[in-house]
Amino acid sequence: MKKLTMTPGIRWEYFNASYPEEGVSVQQQALMLAEGYQQRGLFPGQTMPTFKNFAPRFGASYDLFGNGKTALKASIAKYNSAFSTVTFPQVYNPMVLSTDTRNWLNAAATNNIFVPGVSQLGPSTNASFGLITRQPDPNITRPYNVEMTVSGQRELRPGVSVSFGYFHRHYYNLLFTDNTALDVPDAFTAVSVPNPCFTGTVACGGTQPQTLTLYKINPSLIGKGAPVIDKNSPNNYRVYNGIEASFMARLGGGAQVFGGFLTARQVSNLCDSTDGTGTIAFAQASDPNYTLYCDQSKFDIPFRTQYKLGGTYPLPYGLNISGTFQSYPGMRNYGSGATNFDYLQQTYLVPTALLTPGQAQETVNLNYPGSLYLPRWNQLDLRFARKFKLPGGRGTWQLQGDLFNTLNGHPVLAQTTNYGSALGQATQALQPRILTLGAQVHF
């Protein structure tokens, strides 16, 4: 069409992974028999669920006035989550590395590694040692997200343009790990305890409730449920919204300047336990202690804004100065597929006296989501350069000096978030001002 350009597309994706039959080698089997242990059979191989998915995309651009200076754009696309044919099956392979901690005592001082009837180690203290502890749901489907964008671009005059855009991304079919043995009435008993941020001597950050709700497991269910099942959640979701605007200008004398801002927010609901595929331990599956504040839509999580300004300016005698100023509202996170700025989540290791004897260690969140962030991170980087011609006009070479963190700011990039005497102490800060010298050759 004269003013409208459309770019439809579709991709078909096929994913299949497996692990082979595995077990202890013949030599190790013989050694086990000689030492009085039972022979261990082979673990059968397994083929993972096969994913067959379409990934459609559609985009359109409209020349608003027909002069090529103003364009309105929109797109919608589906992106299937990435899976590895190596790491995905290894999550469920029982032959992957497993550990067990034992006390060793050679009372007879015989210096023998093994003395039959004396140095038997007995049963493992790891209830899941050597067992298949997790399985994928046979009906599991591939997680995906749908991104919708609306944007516009306008040439104000030759060499000067501005643009804006709105980005929305919604995540579907998120995975979670389900321990069906705990999906029964009275599996946990709720108890209310004082929040240590109010009763202790350590000052916490953000906003917290005065009491915490903990969950004590039914003693008869401790260690029960293997294998746990990774499945798609009908309730978990993640939503990202972002608005950005930018400009670019080519000025006289070869100078250029560009800049813009992005304001964004991501909200998640992960109340069906935590994300699956190996990100949580066996004891954490279906444990309500790990779902405190799991529905972030109930909290006032703010939009966070970053700014960027940069440019380059040629000087007489072949000199050039360029720089970039960036301002971030705390530490960035690209892990979700879209830039967002994570809040600080302070945690509390629950004393065992408050739990059922034998219950796994519990770590609960203290502050509300979105109530505590790292300080703003401002950074200015500059470059000074001088170009020279190579003999014979065969190219150029350049001497340059880069000044990193020109303003010598020291924002905190990470800090201790576990409740205790070190809570809030910085563990990482921006490097101080650094000057580096270098040379480049272009031919």
pLDDT 10s digits, 260-300: 999 999 999 988 865 444 445 666 778 888 888 889 999 98
The string of pLDDT tens digits covering residues 399-422 is: 999 999 999 999 999 899 999 999
Query: Does residue 251 lie within any of the structural domains?
Result: yes
Asked if the peptide bond before residue 391 counts as cis, ω within 30 degrees of 0, the response is: no
* Structural domains in the chain (count): 1
pLDDT of residue 211: 93
In percent, the amount of the chain with pLDDT more than 90 equals 52
The Cα 170–Cα 148 span in angstroms is 9
Which residues are paired to 401 by β-bridges?
Answer: 384, 437
pLDDT, tens only, 248-262: 999 988 899 999 999
Which position has the higher pLDDT, 290 or 325?
325
Q: Would you say residue 438 lies in a domain?
A: yes
Torsion sign across C-alpha atoms 218, 223, 229, 230: positive
Residue 391 φ/ψ, nearest 5 degrees: -55, 140
Cβ–Cβ contacts within 10 Å for residue 57, how many?
Answer: 15
Residue 6 is predicted with a pLDDT of 95
Residue 97 has pLDDT above 70, yes or no: no
Amino acid residing at 96 = V
Residue 283 has a pLDDT of 63
Q: Is residue 36 domain-resident?
A: no
Asked if residue 235 belongs to a domain, the reply is yes
Q: Take residue 220 and report the two structure tokens written for it.
A: 């008869």
Look at residue 227 and tell me if it is in a domain.
yes
Q: Which residue has the higher pLDDT, 215 or 43?
A: 215
Owning domain of residue 260: 133-442
Q: What is the pLDDT of residue 336?
A: 47
Q: How far apart are CA 121 and CA 102, in angstroms?
A: 8
pTM: 0.84
Q: Is residue 25 part of a domain?
A: no
Asked, for residue 109, whether it belongs to a domain, the answer is no
* Confidence band, pLDDT 50/70/90 cuts, at residue 242: very high
pLDDT at 115: 56
Q: How confident is the model at residue 349 (pLDDT cuts 50, 70, 90)?
A: very high
Chain segment 361-395, per-residue pLDDT in tens? 888 999 998 899 999 999 999 999 998 888 877 88
First to last CA, the chain: 44
Q: What is the pLDDT of residue 335?
A: 46
What is the SS3 assignment for 149-215? EEEEEEEEECCEEEEEEEEEEEEECCEEEECHHHCCCCCEEEEEEECHHHHCCCCCCCCCCCEEEEE
In a domain, 150, yes or no: yes
Mean local confidence (pLDDT), 166-193: 92
**So what's the pLDDT on residue 391?**
84
